[in-house]
Amino acid sequence: MFEAAAAALLISLAGALARALAGPTVFDRTQAANSSGTIAMLLLAVIGFMTDRPDFLDIAIVYGLLNVVGTIAVLKFFRYGDLGDPGSMPDEPDKQQSGEMK
Amino acid sequence: MTHEIINLASWLSISAGSIFCLIGALGLLRMPDFFTRMHAASVIDTLGAGLLLFGMMLQAGFTLVSVKLVFVGLLLFFTSPTATHALARAARARGLGPKLPDRK
Amino acid sequence: MSTTLINTALLLMMAVAAVAIARTRNLFSVVILGSLYSFLMATILLVLDAVDVSMTEAAVGAGISTVLLLATLYLTQSEEAKPHHNPLIPLAVALVTVGLLAYGTLGLPEFGSPDSVIHKHVAPRYLKEGPTETGVPNIVTAVLASYRGFDTLGEVGVIFTAGIGVIVLLRRRWRSDVDEKDT
């Protein structure tokens, strides 16, 4: 039963990876990376139950936190053009142009 | 007897969760526009993760493992809408609009 | 058997992601694909029973490296420059090296077998006398912090220097931005 769930999660991970490779804009790739982080969390929990080591859930919690931190860092960079302190940033989205969406 | 019922319920829940994850990934691949893909991917975060974690909680019983699974569920519950919202705002701030139908 | 299949599937996905990282020209996409690659790597390490290495790989690869590379992209342009030379000769060199290394691994003992030579020299002594000699109950910590303590000292020094270098480089950029706004 857990093997079937792991196989389904691996196929979903392959689908998210295909979207990350083929996404026309960079936001598609960011969404795919976020989804693949979530699927990896669930895959860890399932593998932990499969191999009878439920200590893997601690790593799943770490993944969840890193997933959201990585996504928010990418998006903060897109909105403000910098990763500095938001209190001192001017609130305009296109401050400087070194980044283009492809 | 209740052991059998709990086993059956957890098996059903895990299967349903896996099917919803597959549906979410298929939507991520096949949807035509970025915002619709975001909608499809959110199925993975809510239904897929929720049902899978609930099924595993039924398997684990009242131990520390269930508490950790609840924590994983709460983490997904609070962080995935935040990430989705931030992604949509960043896309709108860059001028990416939804693909609207032509008005004939 | 099932973990072997999971490992094979994850390694194939990692190979596809690595090829995509090499072929993509837009650097933002490369950064995001890099964080995805780190997630896959951390999952493989977890399936191979290396839990602490997996946690470190997730934290460094998917967290810190992504953020630092994004901060670096602020200083450079967003498209990778076109290469000037034909990539066939480096590809041939890389393939020959891979072939030699794969041929070399055929002579190694089996993965995880307790009879291999590496487990017969000092490892039994560490396992038997570790807790009494060093006072640390965890054998890995005893080896890292006590038996090979100078190695750990060197590593901490290297990482500390790298961190200070990164802070100095990034801080100088923010200081120059603030100065430009004042004048």
In this predicted structure, what is the pLDDT of residue C152?
Answer: 92
Query: Is residue B19, in this structure, part of any structural domain at all?
Result: yes
pLDDT at C173: 54
Judge whether B40 lies within some domain: yes
Cα B90–chain centre separation: 22
Query: What's the pLDDT tens digit per position in A85-94?
Result: 544 444 444 4
Which pLDDT band holds residue A99 (cuts at 50, 70, 90)? very low
Distance of CA A12 to the CA centre of its chain: 14
Which residues partner with C26 through β-bridges? Answer: C79
Report how many domains make up chain B: 1
CA distances from C167 to C34, C55, C160, C173 (A): 22, 24, 11, 10
pLDDT < 50 stretches in chain C:
183
DSSP classification of residue C135 = -
Inter-axis angle of helices A26-50 and B49-60, to 10 degrees? 10
Q: Which residue has the higher pLDDT, A1 or A24?
A: A24
Residue C79 φ/ψ, nearest 5 degrees: -115, 140
| B103 inside domain | no
Looking at residue C86, its amino acid is N
Mutation site, A2, A72, A98, A100, interface C, largest C CB count within 10 A: A98
- What pLDDT band is residue B24 in, cutting at 50, 70 and 90? very high
Amino acid of residue A42: L
Q: Is residue A17 very low, low, confident or very high in pLDDT (cuts 50, 70, 90)?
A: very high
- Record the pTM: 0.80
Provide the greatest CA pair distance for chain A: 53
Q: How far apart are CA C2 and CA A67, in angstroms?
A: 27
Chain position carrying tokens 């990763």: A83
Helix (H, G, I), strand (E, B) or coil at C79: strand
pLDDT of residue C136: 80
pLDDT of residue C120: 79
> Using CA atoms, how far apart are residues B11 and A39, in angstroms rounded to an integer?
19
Distance CA A11, CA A43 (A): 11
Check CB contact of B87 with chain A, cutoff 8 Å.
Answer: yes
- Give the whole-number percent of chain B exceeding pLDDT 90: 68
Which residues in chain C are contacts of A44 at CB distance < 8 A? 43, 46
> What is the residue type of C149?
G
Partner-chain contact A59 C31, CB within 8 Å: no
Instruction: Please determine, for residue B1, whether its predicted confidence score (pLDDT) is greater than 80.
Output: no
What is the token pair recorded at A87? Answer: 């209190």
The whole-number pLDDT of residue B48 equals 92
Residues in A closer than 8 angstroms to B79, CB to CB, are: 64-65, 67-68
**Most B-contacting residue of A17, A21, A72, A75 (CB-CB within 10 A), to test interface:** A75
pLDDT greater at residue C178 or residue B29: B29
Give pLDDT, residue A39: 94
pLDDT recorded at residue B25: 93
Q: Return mean pLDDT, chain A.
A: 79
Look at B76 and A15 and tell me if their CB atoms are within 8 Å.
no
SS3 B33: coil
Q: Is residue B80 part of a domain?
A: yes
Token output for A71: 């996504």
Are the beta carbons of A15 and B83 separated by less than 8 Å? no
Q: Interface pTM (ipTM) of the complex?
A: 0.88
Question: Can you read off the two tokens belonging to residue A61?
Answer: 């919690």
Where does residue A67 rank: exposed (0-12), middle (13-18), buried (19+ CB within 10 A)?
Answer: buried
What is the model's pLDDT at position C72?
80
- The pLDDT assigned to C176 comes to 56
Which chain A residues in 18-57 lie under 8 Å from chain B, judged by CB atoms?
18-19, 25, 27-28, 30-32, 34-35, 38-39, 41-42, 45-46, 49, 54, 57
The pLDDT of residue C16: 93
